[in-house]
Structure 1
Amino acid sequence: MQKKSSQPRSHGAPRLAPRQVRIIGGAWKRALLPVLDAEGLRPTPDRVRETVFNWIRHQLGGDFSHASFLDLFAGSGALGFEAASRGAASVTMVDSHGAAARQLEANRDKLKASNVKVLRADALALVKDMAARGQRLDVIFLDPPYQLGLLSQVLPLCPAILNEDGLVYAEAGEPLPLEGEALPEWLADWEAIRADKAGMVYYYLLKRR
């Protein structure tokens, strides 16, 4: 997630995030959803989402209808709404910022997405609470702000809320050190079953070892 420049934005300069995101598959294919023009908000690009959902579909045997998803740093909701459009049994979208959560709610209502729940909450606290209540999910999306080190904090908490054979999709601004002797402790329980790179974004489908 890029920090906003202190310099004023000149007329016609690119915005920090697109004004809308396009759903690329499922019941709401081609639907355009407004996106909050907020600092550093960067919806997962279409091509990356297409690749990721092909990976997930393969792992789920082509059927989303029994799968529960958690979009833990939802932002624009691009990943969560994509899952919902493709028939997910349930999608919980989480964002700690009020304006972002309200935009997610508005988009949910626009789509009449009965399988989507939006929560305004701190991601780390929510995962701990879900674990304490025995909640389990099939797929977790982790696309946190890159510069805050949140991925290394939240990933070790995810096994407690994943079903057996559950999946984690993770985005990062640099390669994850998943191989070699210098494997960090927070990645020790995970293997990348698929991985790719788009521009400066590294993305992974992770499963517990």
Structure 2
Amino acid sequence: MRIVGGTLRGLKLAEVGAGDAAAHLRPTTDRVREAIFNLLINGSHGNPVAGARVLDLFAGTGALGLEALSRGAARVAFVDDGVAARALIRSNVERARAGGVTDIWRRDATRLGPCRGGAYDLVFLDPPYGQGLGERAMASALEGGWLAPGAVVVWEESRPPLVPAPLVGIDQRRYGDSTVTLARLPGPG
């Protein structure tokens, strides 16, 4: 796995092999990450990455959040409750020399609680497939005030997810066994 675009393009990330089923690690492939960022940056809704505060839920390896940093995001908070995942995220943050603009939180993404800092402009959501965890995490994020008005959500699942109100679906694409759904919280932008 490598960062596929931006200032960190080509940076090799820590190896996880085919993933860690016990830890629910299923890294987003380079091809799918590139497609996601092409949708975000070249879409008709402006560039939600530049200068964004990013929340990477079920962060796994941290590749999505680090890709966002590489492409101009201001700061990324990685959320994962897995020991193996947080070790991979720490390793990848060190490789990217991004310690000053990242936070790594051990937290259950389905029970975020209230947001104590500023809300986030861009949210990546890549839960273990087929368990309904994405829907629970989005409900928790919305209830806790984690999304800024106009925030964009990038949700990767095995099937089209049930996007909760007040989020509005703006795009959806299928890549192999992954469905990527883009949604936006109404507001400025």
TM-score by length of 1: 0.77
2:64 paired with 1:79: yes
Q: 1:139 matched to which residue of 2?
A: 122
The 1-side partners of 2:125 and 2:154 are apart by 6
2:21 aligned with 1:44: no
In 2, Cα distance between the equivalents of 1:203 and 1:191?
Answer: 14
Q: Is the 8 A contact 1:190 1:207 kept in 2?
A: yes
Determine what percentage of the aligned residue pairs are the same residue. Answer: 36
Contact 2:25–2:85 under 8 Å retained in 1: no
Change (3 A) 1:93 1:122: same
Aligned-partner SS, 1:42:
coil
Is the CA contact 2:20–2:26 (under 8 Å) kept in the aligned structure 1? no
1:119 to 84, 88, 105: 105
Counterparts of residues 16-165 of structure 1 (less than 5 Å):
21-36=1-16, 37-39=19-21, 40-57=24-41, 58=43, 61-62=46-47, 64-113=49-98, 114-125=100-111, 127-130=112-115, 133=116, 135-159=118-142, 160-165=145-150
Q: Which has the higher helix share?
A: 1
Q: Distance in 1 between matches of 2:4 and 2:136?
A: 31
Summarize the alignment of residues 130-209 of structure 1 with structure 2, pairs less than 5 Å apart: 130=115, 133=116, 135-159=118-142, 160-176=145-161, 187-208=164-185
Give unpaired runs (5+ residues) of structure 2. none
Counterparts of 1:65 and 1:117, CA distance in 2: 18
Distance 1:101 1:77 in 2: 9
Cα RMSD over matched residues?
2.1
User: Aligned-pair distance for 1:173?
Assistant: 1.1
- One-letter amino acid matched to 1:158: A
Could you say which structure has the greater relative contact order, defined with CA pairs below 8 angstroms and 6 or more residues apart? Answer: 2
Bigger Cα Rg: 1
8 Å contact from structure 2 (residues 3, 12) kept in 1: yes
Gaps of 5+ in 1: 1-20, 178-185
Aligned positions, number: 178
One-letter amino acid of the counterpart of residue 147, structure 1: G
Q: Secondary structure at the match of 2:37?
A: helix
Distance in structure 1 (CA, Å) of the matches to 2:121 and 2:128: 23
Question: Which amino acid in 2 is paired with 1:123?
Answer: A
Deviation per CA, 1:105-162: give whole Å up to 9, x if none: 122112211322212221133x3232xx253000111100113211121112333211
